[in-house]
Structure 1
Amino acid sequence: MSAFVSEIIGTMLLILLGNGVVAGVVLRHSKAENSGWIVITMGWGLAVMVGVYAAGIYGGAHINPAVTIGLATAGEFPWADVPLYILAQFIGAIIGACLVYVHYKPHYDATDDPGLKLATFSTAPGIRSTPYNLIGEIIGTFVLVFALLSFGANTFADGLNPLIVGFLIVSIGLSLGGTTGYAINPARDLGPRIAHAFLPIKGKGSSDWGYSWIPVVGPIIGAIIAALIYGILVP
């Protein structure tokens, strides 16, 4: 139960800070408005760092179903615990998205573009192309999970791992995130998308359910491939 609660809290903080930085950049009259992609990628990297630190107190600090599935595929995590972790991650993601909405409520009201509002909840591709969008999420998550498994073969000073993981997220965002917005985390995208669908957001428009499967399926495939290849290279 401690691990379950830790995953909820860690994922909640991840989404609150990660989607929070997006809201700050894209919503009208925010003091961070138009500060750009570098701010978003740095904000997401720091959000992951905070989430991992918080979730690591009692749990495995996965805060991402793709990471949980990847570690289980690699034999580093028991499959029996996978459903509980994923449930906690989705609960945390939905709560975090709701908190972003509450925090930025006047700015949501002042923003007319429904696409910008959705961007503060979930990802969307720069160019909509189903096969390439899916490949982009697979590649990004492959890098994430393969790097995480590789980090386990190295020794860091106590407490340094979450910081290194945060820099990993920044690297993925800067190098690979410009195509799809680098969900690389099914809970990060689908949880807030669900929140977007039920929250009473003024002029919110569609939740873009037609795209929603790509940030779920792509990361899972990428995580499994990363785990299998890592297992071949490091038996």
Structure 2
Amino acid sequence: MEKTNLLKRSIAEGIGTALLILIGAGTAAYNGIITAHGSAATLADAGIVAFAHAITIMGMIYTIGKFTGAHINPAVTIGLASIGKFPWKEVPAYLIAQFAGSIAGAYGIVVILGLDGVILGNLGAPGLGMTTGYLQGIAVEAIATFILMFVIMGTAVDQRAYKGLEGIAIGLMAGGIIMLAGGATGAAFNPARAFGPYLVNSVLDGNINWSQLAIYFIGPIIGSIVAAFTYRMIDSSREYPVSTKTSFTESVK
């Protein structure tokens, strides 16, 4: 990993998160525009949205991972810090960058799709399905993030894993999770993925249900922490000292 200062790493995290929102949530918003004009939503549509997220996550891991670890998700940052794989003192900077990036990415959707992206596409903001209850939504988001974080731990954090394919594994897993859980909660499993579209929707008078935002904070943070500790428990033969490094692949030495 090329060692860079915290400011530069935070900027990279912000850019990575912005692109995740722009491309991932932007694709969801565009799909919303299409269905609003009379086209029925299909599983293929969900697959396209999932693929957009997957390729963006892959791209960011291979682009900024060597500098920042490519968390692009506050839940991942907190999960890594909870087991000493990321310094707590750097967590605030990463979180600020990620949430700022999510706002920038949401405004980027508006630039590309116009107000239709807000009114018809809701900026790709996640929301509960018609039959999904509030607590169920938290559970779904927790499970989704657990799966993602468990894969991150096994493919990117654990140095014994074969290196070079972690971006593909994590990206494809994220896509699979979206195809599974998208109908229930929108499958954000990332507080920043929800926050930016919610805020910008609100600013531009879009239709947003702020009462649901907590689901996308509580569920992912719980899921990420539980996954990190679960993986550490399974791998209990190894010790995990607090690391001052930020790269997934470097931080387990």
TM, length-normalised to structure 2: 0.81
Instruction: Report the 3-state secondary structure (helix = DSSP H, G, I; strand = E; otherwise coil) of the residue aligned with 2:172.
Output: helix
1:149 aligns with 2:158: no
RMSD value, Cα: 2.2
CA distance in 2, matches of 1:135, 1:197: 26
Instruction: Report the 3-state secondary structure (helix = DSSP H, G, I; strand = E; otherwise coil) of the residue aligned with 1:210.
Output: helix
* Residues 194 and 106 (structure 1), Cα distance of their counterparts in 2 relative to 1, 3 Å cut: closer
**One-letter identity of the residue aligned with 1:214:** I
Partner of 1:46: 55
CA shift at 1:30, angstroms? 10
* Residues 41 and 12 (structure 1), Cα distance of their counterparts in 2 relative to 1, 3 Å cut: same
1:129 aligns with 2:133: yes
Tell me which of 70, 78, 82 is aligned to 1:73. Answer: 82
Tell me which of 85, 99, 104 is aligned to 1:95. Answer: 104
CA shift at 1:163, angstroms? 2.2
CA distance in 1, matches of 2:31, 2:169: 25
CA shift at 1:47, angstroms? 2.0
Partner of 1:19: 25
**One-letter identity of the residue aligned with 1:231:** R
CA distance in 2, matches of 1:149, 1:157: 13
Tell me which of 3, 6, 15 is aligned to 2:12. Answer: 6
Q: Which runs of 4+ in 1 moved over 3 A?
A: 28-31, 106-109, 154-158
CA distance in 2, matches of 1:75, 1:44: 28
Partner of 2:195: 190
CA distance in 2, matches of 1:29, 1:38: 15
CA shift at 1:57, angstroms? 4.5
1:232 aligns with 2:237: no
**One-letter identity of the residue aligned with 2:234:** L
CA shift at 1:233, angstroms? 1.2
2:141/2:188 contact within 8 Å kept: yes
* Residues 55 and 234 (structure 1), Cα distance of their counterparts in 2 relative to 1, 3 Å cut: same
2:27/2:124 contact within 8 Å kept: no
CA distance in 2, matches of 1:102, 1:67: 29
2:46/2:182 contact within 8 Å kept: no
1:121/1:193 contact within 8 Å kept: no
CA shift at 1:129, angstroms? 0.5
* Residues 233 and 9 (structure 1), Cα distance of their counterparts in 2 relative to 1, 3 Å cut: same
TM, length-normalised to structure 1: 0.87
CA shift at 1:29, angstroms? 9.0
CA shift at 1:86, angstroms? 0.6
Residue-pair matches, total:
223
Deviation sequence 1:141-186 (CA, Å, 0-9, x none): 111111110113343354x322221111112112333311111000
- Higher mean C-alpha displacement, 3-12 vs 98-107: 98-107
CA shift at 1:106, angstroms? 6.0
Partner of 2:249: none
Superposed, 1:112-127 pairs within 5 Å as 114=119, 116-118=120-122, 120-126=123-129, 127=131
